[in-house]
Each structure stands twice: as structure tokens, then as C-alpha cells.
Structure 1
């Protein structure tokens, strides 16, 4: 049985039949231009033109600054600014977290909500002896040569290299009688020194004021941070001379003693010393008389 190929031949003939496109002058009908075309050529040419048009439009929008004027697209500068703000926000969150931890520790110092840590001196000494016994103290050849070189340098630079270590001395904040001593059992991590009203309260060492505020229980409070991880606390003052952020010298007046706060029973100074987060007895280092 033979298939009828006439429709296919008819379509092929329509696609391949040649036509002439003639451009004439309207008045004289003079031929100006003429083109030989087929329907297939016209279809292929139109398709290629549309592909080139779409590709060019996409490239113009995607890879040029013109895309910033199209709704839905964000500019490069805006993206950079958003990233910078994101990094800055993350940094600020970290700073806020550190400040919250810092103020939380200061709050514990003010409220006396801390626990003393007791060390077993004998166990520490024994552990040091065990560790020392395992170390070979015989100097190596490199160490001997280095020691000899340093010894020769020190021999001729005695006055330049021999510098005395800094002596860290605590200055008594006030002079008076201790009305209540330091006591771990009573959770009294301070010494109370009885003084006259408005007696000058002085900084016990060089440092920076990290807290200077008033609280209902302890009155006017000032806290100073010193070197070597030392913090001094002065409570129940009648007034404060320094503010937060001020630099102070040892012996410089920072407040006036008084009777402020609910926990005060008379003019006195409630003085605390903290070293690396642990309370220490101020009377072991300072003579208040």
C-alpha cells in the first residue's frame, strides 16, 4: 500500500518556492531594490533575529548597571553595604555579650554573691615536686652558649640592663579603726573602717574608675580597676568625686566617706579587694591605723 506524499510535497514546495521582494518608486514605478526570498529563509532569518535580540537584552540587563533600574534587582553598592552592616552587627553583638558578662561579674561583687576558693597548699607543693623531678635541668649546648653571650652583654651594660622591678604598694584609702573585719564565714568580703563623716576616701593604687553609681543598699559606690588583675571597691560614701572612666593615682581622693545605703549603721568605709575574681583580706596588705 502506497502512502500519499502529496501533502508533504506541497508543504515543501511552499517553503522552497522563490519569491521576489521588489521596492519601487511610487511615482515612476522604477525598481529600486529587489530580493529573492523563500518562506524558509524568512522563517530562519526571523528566528535568528529573535534569538540575537533576546540574548543581547539579557546580557545588557544582567551584566551592566542598567539592571539597577529594573524593579527586583539590587545594586552592587547596596549589597556591599548590607554585608558591612551584617559584619558590624555581629561585632556589636559580641561586644554586648562581653559587656553583659562584665557587668554581671561587677554586680556579683557589689552584692557579695561570690564564694571563696580554698587551696590545699600541701597538694600543690607535692604536685610541683613531682613535675620538677621529671624535668631534666642539665643545660644543653645551645643554652650554655646563650647564657655565656648574655653574661658578656650584661657585664658591659650593667647600668642599662639592671632595672629595678616595680614595687606595687597599696595606699590606705582611709585611716581609722576596723569596726568589722574580713570574714569568709559571715560572707563579709571586706573590712569596715569607722571614720568621721565626709572623711576623704583615697584610691589605694593607680587605676581607672570602672563604676561610680548609687544603689539603695550600699549607697554611693565607686570601683577602681588596677594593675595585676586587682579591683578595689568603696561603698557607703556620702558623695563621689570621680566618675566612670576617670584615671586616678594612688592616694588621690575619689569620694567622701559617709552613711549612705540601707546596710550602713554609721559613718564608715566598706572597703573590698578582689584579685582575678577572688576576694582577699585587705588588712593583710594595708595598715588602716
Structure 2
């Protein structure tokens, strides 16, 4: 026990024993600076310096651009660019998928292709079916004024309904005699309406022209995209009045009757209606 106590005292004495650090002028041996130090002081001071150096290095790496020069660390700008590119890539993939699906529907319209013959002709009616009991139809003063101002514009409104509420009515592209009706079994997904050459062909509803070109089989073709995935197709025209990207209104003249294309048998309009990629019978919605 005495030896342990003696040993502890010896260690304490060595730690607290004072040493003198003197800085002399080498030529004159004049004392310039002197320090009194102990081993404990040197140990504590050295430890604090090491801890401070580590903390300072950490702060420099974490909050200054110096970290960019350390392998494994990337700059904030590069991280932001990588994140933006990831979002853009995801967006481009989604847009590419939607575009390919859209173009596939246009291809089906142009060549008259359809995957199955079981077509729900009531799809448009069901899609736009409204429960009258859920709507408050009581007009207010401002509503009455607005209706009076736009009465002429609403006269040929896009999806106008019959008086008896039986279904949807679209503006007829032209008036004439139907030479061939809609027939799924013969892959004739349209109605052919005969009329004299140069008879105006009108848009069945407001929309945007997405195709307006010449094709070998069906001559001058114009396709108008309406709301909620509805497409109207006009083939064998003699001339086209609208270009791709033009916005048309209900009843506006977009083409004229002709006899163009290899598959035509005389002056007529080949008219098709497509709902979200499915062909529907135009006679269900238009009175020619």
C-alpha cells in the first residue's frame, strides 16, 4: 500500500514539476524569453490545440468550398444539377410515354385500325352524364347578364344536349345523304356523306387541329382534337382551310368536300369520331 501511495506521489511530482524553457540570443547568450512549464501543462495545451485543429478542419470542410477538393465530396452546384436532371429525366420519360400513346391513337385513326370490335357506343354519354339533382340551376343576376352577352356563342356550344336528354349532340359537318354507314364488321368506322364538290365542311365542335395533310389513300385529311379525348376526322377533302395547330370553333369551316385519295369512289365526306382511342358511331351524336 505504501508503495502505491509513493508511486502516485512520484507521478504527481513529475507531472507538476516545473521546467524552464529559455530562448537565448546565440551570439550574446542574452536571455530573450523564458517559460515555466510542467508536463501537465504541455499535455493539456497540446490536447486543446489538437481538438481545436480538428474542429477548425471540420468547420472548413462542412461550410466552405474547400470540401470540393477532398475526394468523395461533390459541390452543391453539381448536386443541384444532378437532382434537376433526375426530375427532367422522369418528366421526359412520362412525356415520351404519353406522346407515343397519343401518336398510336392518331395512327389508328389514319389507318382505321381498332383492336377489338366490342365498342361501347354509350361511352360518350356515360362520360358526360350529369345528375340534374346535384346542380343548382337557379340563375343569379350576374349569371343572367352573362348568359345574355354570350347567347350567340353558346348557341353551338360543344357538347350540347338534346331536349329530351337522350344523349350528346354535335354540330353536323355538312348536310347530305349518307351513302355508307358505320359498320364494325367491315372495318368501316365512319359514315360517308355525299355532297357536291366544294361544299363547306365544318367542325363538329371547338378544338385544335392536330393533323392537316395529304395522304395517298384518303387524300386531304384533317383531324381536330376536342376536349376529354374526343377526335373528329374528315377525309377525302378537296381542300383544307386549316393548318396543324390552328384553333377552330364549333361550326367553323375547316375544309371542302372533294374526291381525293385512292380509296374514294366519288365526291363525299368520310367522317369518323374517336373517343380515347375507340371508334364510335357518329350517327349516335350527329343528325346529318
Q: Which interval holds the TM-score relative to the shorter structure?
A: 0.5 to 0.7
Q: Which residue of 2 aligns with 1:30?
A: 30
2:120 to 117, 121, 125: 117
* Cα distance in 1 for residues equivalent to 2:62 and 2:56: 10
SS in 1 for 2:212: strand
- Give the aligned length: 256
SS in 2 for 1:259: coil
Q: Which residue of 2 aligns with 1:232?
A: 232
CA apart distance, 1:71: 4.5
Distance of aligned partners of 1:208 and 1:170 in 2 relative to their CA distance in 1, 3 Å threshold: same
Q: Which residue of 2 aligns with 1:102?
A: 102
* Cα distance in 2 for residues equivalent to 1:232 and 1:282: 13
* Cα distance in 1 for residues equivalent to 2:147 and 2:54: 82
2:145 to 160, 166, 185: 160
Q: Which residue of 1 aligns with 2:286?
A: 285
Distance of aligned partners of 1:161 and 1:72 in 2 relative to their CA distance in 1, 3 Å threshold: closer
Task: Tell me, yes or no, if structure 1 residue 64 matches structure 2 residue 49.
Answer: no
**What pairs with 1:15-94 in structure 2 (closer than 5 Å)?**
18-94=18-94
Does the Cα contact within 8 Å between 2:221 and 2:233 map onto a contact in 1? yes
Q: Which residue of 2 aligns with 1:189?
A: 189
Does the Cα contact within 8 Å between 1:117 and 1:278 map onto a contact in 2? no
* Cα distance in 1 for residues equivalent to 2:241 and 2:146: 41
CA apart distance, 1:31: 1.8
* Cα distance in 2 for residues equivalent to 1:227 and 1:253: 18
Please give the TM-score of this superposition, normalised by the length of structure 2.
Answer: 0.66
SS in 1 for 2:90: helix
What are the superposed Cα offsets for residues 98-121 of structure 1, whole Å, 9 maximum, x if unpaired?
Answer: 3333333333333241532266xx
Larger Rg: 1
* Cα distance in 2 for residues equivalent to 1:162 and 1:196: 38
Does the Cα contact within 8 Å between 1:112 and 1:188 map onto a contact in 2? no
Distance of aligned partners of 1:274 and 1:22 in 2 relative to their CA distance in 1, 3 Å threshold: closer
What are the superposed Cα offsets for residues 44-89 of structure 1, whole Å, 9 maximum, x if unpaired?
Answer: 4333322321221121111223323444422223323332333333
Distance of aligned partners of 1:255 and 1:97 in 2 relative to their CA distance in 1, 3 Å threshold: farther
Distance of aligned partners of 1:118 and 1:180 in 2 relative to their CA distance in 1, 3 Å threshold: closer
Distance of aligned partners of 1:71 and 1:216 in 2 relative to their CA distance in 1, 3 Å threshold: farther
Please give the TM-score of this superposition, normalised by the length of structure 1.
Answer: 0.66
Q: Which residue of 2 aligns with 1:142?
A: none
Q: Which runs of 5+ in 2 are unaligned?
A: 158-169
CA apart distance, 1:252: 1.4
